[in-house]
A and B are shown apart, each in its own frame.
Chain A
Amino acid sequence: DVKVTQSSRYLVKRTGEKVFLECVQDMDHENMFWYRQDPGLGLRLIYFSYDVKMKEKGDIPEGYSVSREKKERFSLILESASTNQTSMYLCASSGGGTYQETQYFGPGTRLLVL
C-alpha cells in the first residue's frame, strides 16, 4: 500500500513567519506534488517535482518554494506566511511511468495564518 505522510495535521502560524510543510512517501515514486485546497476551487497545483532536486511551477507558485533533496521527501516552504495562505495543503506522489499514473495523497495539513 502506498503511504504518503505529512508532518503536521494542523498548524497555526503568524503573518511573516517562515513555514515548512514536509511530505514523505514510501513507494519510491518519481513524482511528488503540492496542492492547496480551498472551498469551491478544488485542488490547485502549487509545485511538483519529477526527480530529486528538480522542481516545476504549478498554477499558483507565488509565495511558495519547494525543496526535494531526497527522492522520498518533498518540502513546501512559505517564505513569509500571509493570511491568504490559510488553506488545506495536500501532498501527493505518483510513479514515473506512463502519464496516466494515479496520484496518491497524504492526509493534508490545515494551515491557519493569523
Chain B
Amino acid sequence: DQQVKQNSPSLSVQEGRISILNCDYTNSMFDYFLWYKKYPAEGPTFLISISSIKDKNEDGRFTVFLNKSAKHLSLHIVPSQPGDSAVYFCAASKGNAGNMLTFGGGTRLMVKP
C-alpha cells in the first residue's frame, strides 16, 4: 500500500504558465516532505522541502504548499520553462526514522515551448 501517492503520471504545460504537481500521503507520522527532480539517465536531485510546522516554502520559481489536514502537498513552478521537463518525485519522512524516505510514483512534467 503506497503511503505517498502522485495520482497524475504526467502533466503537460505551456512555457511561461504555472505547473502544479500534486502529492497525497496517508501516514500522519510523516513530518518532513521533499520534492526531487529526475532527468533521464541521471539520478534524482533535491529540489525543495518543507517541514510540517510550515504550510509554505518558496525558493525562486518553486513553491511547495502543505495542507496537513488534507494530507496533501503541491509543488508550484512559476513560470514553467522547457528545462523543467523531467520526472518529479514527492517524498516524505518521519522524525523517528532517521533518513528514510518514502517516495511517490512520480509525475512526468512536459513544458512545451
Contact = CB atoms under 8 A, between A and B. Distances in A.
B89 to A, nearest CB: 6
Interface stretch (A42-50, A60-68, A73-81): A42-50
Interface of A: 4, 9, 31, 33, 35, 40-45, 48, 50, 58-59, 90, 92, 94, 99-108
Contacts of B34: 102
Given A42-B104, A100-B32, A101-B99, A90 B44 contact: yes
Main SS class of interface, B? loop
Nearest to A95: B99
B interface bracket (residues with beta carbon within 8 Å of A)? 20 to 34
B9 A94 contact: no
B49 interface: yes
Given A4-B43, A108-B42, A100 B93 contact: yes
